[in-house]
Amino acid sequence: MKQIATAAEARRLLTLWQDRGEWADLLPEVLALQDVPQPPEYHGEGDVLSHTLLALDVVDDDDDERVFWAVLFHDLGKATMTRFEGGRWRARGHAEFGAAIALSVMHRLGRGDIASDVAWLVSHHHFYFGWGKIRGSRLSKRQLLFCRQPLFPLLIRVAEADAAGSIGISRKGRMLERIRNLAEAALGEL
């Protein structure tokens, strides 16, 4: 696969593969998300593939291509990790498991140059779940240190697309907006 730089170029490539009927051969891991259930109260849009495609629609054409690939692959781990537990569908560990799959897929597609970045974005797309409530008007030192990661601005875009691709009672979007605002107040524009 040739070097591409923007989400628009990656989207065109994905559309080309789809039009040629090559998705099943090139991205079977993505097609495996079809019919993988999710809790309807958080994902009224349906299965994981439906959610992924909605999230992908939110990616701006001028976003870095790593955002596009990470959004496409962000829930790959759910195909294997999804279980019905405690009265609802859960996919514990899907981000970490999916990151390993994303790394492999990016290498298979000939994009080893960005594979580790995409895998990191997939692995951390729920980074804020472990942050608990953000008290006051500042992030903690640990949170600010994480926000200084070179890929953090891309990670915010991946997490925002994930949140926007969810139809339900999720508060992800509001949490991310608050984190973005606090990080920008402390560090400057992301």
The mean per-residue pLDDT over the stretch 161-171 comes to: 86
Q: Where are the domains of the chain?
A: 7-187
Q: What is the pTM of this model?
A: 0.91
Residue (of 21, 3, 32) closest to 101 by Cα position: 32
* The predicted structure's pLDDT at residue 23: 85
pLDDT digits (tens, 9 = 90+) for 83-107: 999 999 999 999 999 999 999 999 9
Burial annotation 106-125 (CB, 10 A radius, 16+ → b, else e): beeeebeebbebbbbbbbbb
Predicted local distance difference test score (pLDDT) of residue 126: 92
- Exposure string for 58-90, b = 16+ CB within 10 A, e = fewer: ebeeebbbbbbbbbbbbbbbbbbbbeeeeeebb
Percent of the chain with pLDDT over 70: 96
Just give the CATH number of 7-187.
1.10.3210
Supply the pLDDT for residue 97.
97
What's the token pair of residue 19? Answer: 């039009």
Mean pLDDT, residues 41-53 = 86
pLDDT mean over 66-84:
96
Helix (H) or strand (E) holding 146: helix 141-147
For residue 42, what pLDDT is reported? Answer: 81
Backbone angles phi, psi at 148, to 5 degrees: -85, -5
DSSP-derived letter for residue 168 is: S
* Maximum mean pLDDT: which of 34-43, 102-111, 127-136: 102-111
Cα Rg, the chain, nearest whole Å: 16
